[in-house]
Amino acid sequence: MNCDLILALDCETADEAAPILRQLSGRLRWVKIGLQMFTANGPDYVRRVADQGFNVFLDLKLHDIPNTVAKAVQSLSPLPIGMLTLHTSGGREMMEWAVKAQRQYKPDLQLLGVTVLTSMDDAALNGTGVPGTAATQVERLARLAASAGMSGLVCSPHEVAPLRAALPASVQLVTPGVRPADSAKDEQKRVMTPGDAARAGSSYIVVGRPILRAADPAAAAASILRELGR
> In this structure, what CATH number is given to the domain that contains residue 204?
3.20.20.70
End-to-end CA distance of the chain: 9
61 is annotated as an active-site residue: yes
Residue 80 CB neighbours (<10 A): 14
Instruction: Provide the pLDDT for residue 188.
Output: 45
207 pLDDT more than 80: yes
Strands (E), the chain: 4-8, 30-34, 55-62, 83-87, 110-114, 152-154, 172-175, 204-207
Confirm whether pTM is higher than 0.95: no
Give ∠ CA 96-100-102 in degrees, rounded to 5. 115
Q: What is the CA radius of gyration of the chain?
A: 17
Q: Residue 168 is part of which domain span?
A: 4-227
Cα-based distances in Å from 220 to 88, 207, 217: 32, 10, 5
CB distance 31 to 55 below 8 Å: yes
The number of distinct structural domains making up the chain is 1
Percent of the chain predicted with pLDDT > 70: 95
Annotated catalytic residue within 61, 71, 100, 189: 61
- What tens digit of pLDDT does each residue of 93-132 get? 999 999 999 999 999 999 999 998 877 889 999 999 999 9
